[in-house]
Structure 1
């Protein structure tokens, strides 16, 4: 017999207490914090190992994957996969086992994140979704509404948001060591064509290849189909195609830009401009870009300009700060320009430092600010497991992850269509180029409609 937390009892308690207590303070009365959580996986191969690792001490109830060979990819490392019930269609799995599943981990390509996440949330299941959270802005806003409606615990898989460094950087910033930060520059090279994640097709549109016997290609496409199969789409290289992924934005923005967006409250830009773009077309993501975001004053924070760069480092890397004292600038990370000091965080929004070595030494001698933000261990999946058992709400829950993802998606629209976008965040509208508003919400095929009821 399975040990399980009664999800619906949790929901009722959370809803009743929501006006008096924060959600993360609610636990089921009389229930052991050590009781195991019943977990299901949507996506069983490749990056799903992270979810399997994070839930290895829980009950693995079910696995779902559109490619049957993925069920064996991590089975040696995680023997519980052998006994878990297996499905091809997550909708079938949730219909059959939804009452037994407490938490679901979604590790699919970007274009199916939203449908799988909504399907779980509307059944009252706590949900972990790999980054990026969604493939368009309407989806991101809908998931934030869904969190409010269904009162479930959520988390997105940007691992750096669980690291000590991002917390320390925020403590430094709030201590005043940087003064006002008026510019931040996040950068990384790539996409690396012909590498592990990206490859150019010989022709566009991509040619039609035979569908592997183990793959349900129709289900893999989810809301975007139908489209002919090409061997570059599956199992990993979908990320370079606009229909399914978001290139380096989808791959790394959620890691590198996590710290500046969280520290500086960079959620509502007034303008986004693709200042430089190399390559890219209807099918393929760009080879490189420099995108500028303009933010007005946010409370006591000064107006700020944020830049994103990816591509050939010779063409798409910010200038090294004049006071940089640590050798060569790392290949990826974020540079912060403050009125008192400049700073840096790495590609996981971790390992903060002051740009000036001398200033860093003096800062350390004076004593770092006291820890204000609790440190956690185990990564974002275990963070959600602990929350389900009554611990604190995860830091990258959808109240944060959805507006964060929206910033990423605005950059993709700017790169794909060029030039400057003037953004009305309150009304979710591009005001200077209304023809681009069609890209805020993508069409979906019949059977894959989710979330419309949350807007009525």
Structure 2
């Protein structure tokens, strides 16, 4: 079994031998890689595979290794990337391979995003992190700060940010097509929650799965077949971040971009609270943000709905009686309305007002390859942690607010704490279990 304490001892000895007082690592990318980019992936299946594959299709990228806790999920990697080394323990992979790497991608369940990303950045590795950036607000802030300190090339996996549909929507708003924005409504029909209590049983762990590694920094608990792994973890408080954490980073992204939003002033949940282990569904969460040059007032309200909840009928009526898409948002402007379905072109209302309007499409780019090119010294990324960190922080305030129904929580982003709720501040940061402390997070 891999012993992470050995890493610490070896690191100390290397540092002592070199007579250094700074951290033992030396970033292996003080300049752009000369012969291509050497990639490692945390996770090998589902979104992790989509991510590593999206990156590795770049002609300058070589997939060196992957860390995967369930050998039953290695089929795709072994078939398409047979030369990639496979590890079960991601810490062992970093310890043994970091000198052979330039960058990593993180596509695991939310609870392990920050430990993996921060540990990689400690080694000077560039990071592509799937959304949400992390499970907790504190983790997100630390990731953002470390990426800035290390001057690393980062990107969050909100691929639609770079697509024609969202880029065009941002251009329309910033161009004043519907005037100044008064308010925004956003929603997703997904239901990543569970009102039922956790089953009181223990199931046998599959022979292919390392359950301890899957739990990672989270507290030990019995394995329950089909309850966490591989696809239900988003519903569970300790591992996922509810529907909002899953889809909010996508849907709030064009809102943040178009309006150039900063951190919210307050957040308020109107829906049910989670139970002891699972997120609730059918959320309604009200945000108040400081106004910007693209909004009509000194503040702007942005409201989130998920599950069966949707914007009020009078708001839906503003899109000409058109049936709302399963996921999307509505911008209410001083001179019109824009409906932005998820991954479809924006629509402008009233239709009569915009019947002769010629919409100019903005050309999209490959979000994955944009990150690779930036590491290789060509251009920059569009969702670096300096942008996606504050976006994720805003999104994660939503699930947190559901613990305190019908309570307006006043947020101080600079101090990373609520002004009026010590209880809510207890949810900003979680404790990692013994033996899983992470430098830069613990």
TM range (shorter): 0.7 to 0.9
Q: Hey, what does 2:398 align to over in structure 1?
A: 411
Cα offset for 1:451? 5.1
Q: Hey, what does 2:163 align to over in structure 1?
A: 163
Cα offset for 1:114? 0.4
Q: Hey, what does 1:118 align to over in structure 2?
A: 118
Q: Hey, what does 1:154 align to over in structure 2?
A: 154
2:73 pairs with 1:70: yes
Moved over 6 A (4+): 198-201
Check the 8 A contact 1:133/1:405 in 2, yes or no: yes
Q: Does the residue aligned with 1:328 lie in a helix, a strand or coil? A: coil
Cα distance, 1:360–1:318 mapped onto 2, change above 3 Å: same
Q: Distance in 2 between matches of 1:162 and 1:111?
A: 26
Cα offset for 1:296? 2.6
Q: Distance in 2 between matches of 1:47 and 1:453?
A: 25
Q: 1:260 is matched with which residue: 251, 255, 261?
A: 255
Count how many residue pairs are aligned between Structure 1 and Structure 2: 409
Q: Hey, what does 2:211 align to over in structure 1?
A: 217
Q: 1:391 is matched with which residue: 365, 378, 385?
A: 378
Matches within 5 A, 1:420-439: 420-439=408-427
Q: 1:305 is matched with which residue: 298, 301, 306?
A: 301
Gapped runs of 5+ residues in structure 2? 1-25
C-alpha RMSD of matched pairs (Å): 2.3
- TM-score, normalisation: structure 2: 0.86
Q: Hey, what does 1:328 align to over in structure 2?
A: 323
2:359 pairs with 1:356: no
Per-residue CA deviation, residues 194-223 of structure 1 (Å, 9 max, x unaligned), is: xxxx7776x535532111111111111111
Q: Distance in 2 between matches of 1:300 and 1:67?
A: 47
Q: Distance in 1 between matches of 2:141 and 2:293?
A: 23
Check the 8 A contact 2:37/2:372 in 1, yes or no: yes
Q: Distance in 1 between matches of 2:200 and 2:102?
A: 40
Q: Distance in 1 between matches of 2:154 and 2:435?
A: 24
Cα offset for 1:449? 2.8
Cα offset for 1:137? 0.6
Q: Hey, what does 1:239 align to over in structure 2?
A: 234
Q: Distance in 1 between matches of 2:203 and 2:28?
A: 49
Q: Distance in 2 between matches of 1:59 and 1:327?
A: 46
Per-residue CA deviation, residues 401-448 of structure 1 (Å, 9 max, x unaligned), is: 111111111111111222221111221111111121111011112343
Cα offset for 1:324? 1.9
Q: Does the residue aligned with 1:169 lie in a helix, a strand or coil? A: helix
Gapped runs of 5+ residues in structure 1? 1-6, 14-26, 193-197
Cα distance, 1:95–1:387 mapped onto 2, change above 3 Å: same
Q: Distance in 2 between matches of 1:145 and 1:404?
A: 14
2:64 pairs with 1:49: no
Q: Hey, what does 1:22 align to over in structure 2?
A: none
